[in-house]
Structure 1
Amino acid sequence: MTRRSTAKARQHDAAPPAPTIPKVPPAQVLPRLAALKTAPIAQLKQQWRELFGKEPPPFSRSYITSRLAYRIQELAYGGLKPETRARLEALGEQLDGGNVVLRRIRADSRPLPGTRLIREHDGVQHVVTVRADDFEYEGRPYRSLSAIARHITGTRWNGWAFFGLRQPGGGA
């Protein structure tokens, strides 16, 4: 192999360069945030690739738009201050004793109390409020989301799947 062909081979073996994340001019922030609401999901995913430099996660449209909105503002105005990051880390260590693995895993996947779960079924919007030990639907307490889903549909459902908290047939 010649010196020239060896150099060419090394170029092909090298990792691709890291994507360049564009800056967002502050004057573009409000129009871009407004456009997120009506953009097709394919366009949102493309923006994700451009603004994060990686593939978008397989999450809901609302998750993707909220993260894009934050990222647009972050690129225009800057992220969290180092002091804020340090304070958040310190609070996390108080809660989990400095165990980073525990910090990334919630003890359970139950939504936090006060969370409102909204599901449209047969053209009717149903709202469930998560409470500390149960769920509230139409002013009544229910022990499980499955009981609420059964009340709404008249058939047996996995409540977590019915309310979109996990994929049907998948794990928690």
Structure 2
Amino acid sequence: MNKPDPIPARLAALKTATTPELKAHWRDLFDSEPPPFNRRYLESRLAYRIQELAYGGLKPETIRRLERLGEELDGGDKKKRGTRLDRDRPITGTRLLREWQGVEYIVTVTADGFEWQGRPYQSLSAIARAITGTRWNGWVFFGLKNRRGRT
């Protein structure tokens, strides 16, 4: 008789875990401190990591394909990968999620800035200020950098 797969139950348990529990899982699975991102991000990355450890990661041919695509984007210049001007900026179309005082806010990265509630913004800081009513570093508010300025 086959034993039932425990992975689906572990994934389902993430939904009911407290944030401190999710952070403890992160430390166990990644052997590092959890990033300052919102709960949904932690859940999705933990779910991926649980499955990766149980079933294996990307196939070698998939990794090679991704590397080839990266080379097409930067012309094979590995220096260019690390010195891109917008290196830390999320790619166009990325959705940033942030929970603030029990309300979830979603910002979309556009080609020339950001969009929130159907309105264009030049900076994440302007959106963070509109949400909170106080001055914030937008990159920190949305969890893209920690308070020490590291990504």
Relative to the length of structure 1, the TM-score reads 0.63
User: How many pairs align?
Assistant: 143
Aligned 8 A contact 2:124 2:138 in 1:
yes
Cα pair distance change 1:64/1:149, threshold 3 Å = closer
Match of 1:28 in 2: 6
Q: Answer yes or no: is 1:154 the counterpart of 2:133.
A: yes
Cross-structure match for 1:38: 16
Flag the structure with larger Rg.
1
Gaps of 5+ in 2: none
Q: Is the 8 A contact 2:98 2:104 kept in 1?
A: yes
Q: Which runs of 5+ in 1 are unaligned?
A: 1-24
Are residues 1:130 and 2:109 paired? yes
**1:93-108 alignment runs, 5 A limit:** 93-100=71-78, 102-103=80-81, 107-108=86-87
What percent identity do the matched residue pairs reach? 60
Q: Superposed, which structure 2 residues align to 1:1-172 within 5 Å?
A: 27-39=5-17, 40-41=21-22, 43-45=24-26, 47-48=28-29, 55-59=31-35, 60=37, 62-100=40-78, 102-103=80-81, 107-168=86-147, 170=149
| Gap change, CA 1:68 and 1:168, over 3 Å in 2 | closer
Greater shift, 116-125 or 136-145, is seen at: 116-125
Partner Cα separation in structure 1 for residue 53 and residue 137 of structure 2 = 40
* 1:75-109, Cα deviation, whole Å (9 max, x unpaired): 43333223222222222222234445654676421
- In 2, are the aligned partners of 1:150 and 1:156 still within 8 Å (CA)? yes
Contact 2:27 2:33 in 1 (8 A): no
- Across the aligned residues of Structure 1 and Structure 2, the Cα RMSD in angstroms comes to 3.1
TM, length-normalised to structure 2: 0.70
Distance (whole Å) between structure 1 residues aligned to residue 62 and residue 4 of structure 2: 22
TM superposition shift of 1:34? 1.2
Distance between the aligned counterparts of 1:45 and 1:171, measured in 2? 19
CA contact (8 A) 1:135 1:143 kept: yes
Residue by residue over 1:127-154, the C-alpha shift from the partner in whole angstroms, topping out at 9 and shown as x without a partner, is: 3222110211222211112222222333
